[in-house]
């Protein structure tokens, strides 16, 4: 279910997103999509603490923004605690036919973004 073309189209429309796609971490001024928190230093640090690389988190964010919005708009990450997200991802990753690595990266991204919020 990987759709790099969609992601690229998205990155070209938003210059700052393109920088993120290139693996550069930007400072906290990055806003991005309201429902898709950017890979700020805080998010990257939260991910690294759990063994997720910036590439893992970038892929998780991509899955979240593309595969996970095929059927519905996304709920804000801040809406649910991490343990609730874990259950949602377990259920929804089957509906989205995610591979196991993508499921793990998606959960790593959501967990890191959620953790960086408070």
Calpha distance 57→38 (Å, rounded): 10
CB of 15 to ligand HEC, least distance (A): 26
CB of 22 to ligand HEC, least distance (A): 24
Calpha distance 98→83 (Å, rounded): 19
Provide the CA 7 distance to its chain's centre, in angstroms. Answer: 12
Provide the CA 117 distance to its chain's centre, in angstroms. Answer: 14
Handedness of CA 32, 46, 5, 104 (dihedral sign): negative
CB of 66 to ligand HEC, least distance (A): 9
Binding site for ligand HEC (CB under 6 A): 67-68, 70-72, 75, 88-89, 92-93, 95-96, 98, 106
CB of 100 to ligand HEC, least distance (A): 13
| Non-local CB neighbours of 13 within 8 Å, separated by 6+ positions | none
Select 65 or 116, whichever has its Cβ closest to ligand HEC.
Answer: 65
Select 26 or 88, whichever has its Cβ closest to ligand HEC.
Answer: 88
Q: Phi and psi for 73 in degrees, rounded to 5?
A: -70, 155
Select 28 or 78, whichever has its Cβ closest to ligand HEC.
Answer: 78
Select 49 or 75, whichever has its Cβ closest to ligand HEC.
Answer: 75
């Amino acid at each position: 279910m990987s759709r790099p073309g969609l992601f690229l189209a998205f990155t070209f429309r938003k210059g700052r997103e393109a920088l993120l796609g290139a693996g550069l971490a930007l400072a906290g001024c990055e806003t991005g999509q309201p429902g898709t928190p950017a890979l700020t230093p805080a998010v990257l640090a939260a991910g690294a603490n759990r063994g997720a690389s910036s590439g893992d988190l970038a892929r998780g964010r991509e899955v979240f923004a593309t595969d996970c919005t095929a059927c519905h708009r996304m709920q804000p990450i801040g809406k649910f605690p991490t343990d609730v997200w874990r259950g949602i991802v377990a259920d929804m990753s089957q509906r989205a036919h995610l591979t196991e690595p993508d499921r793990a990266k998606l959960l790593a991204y959501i967990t890191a973004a959620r953790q960086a919020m408070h």
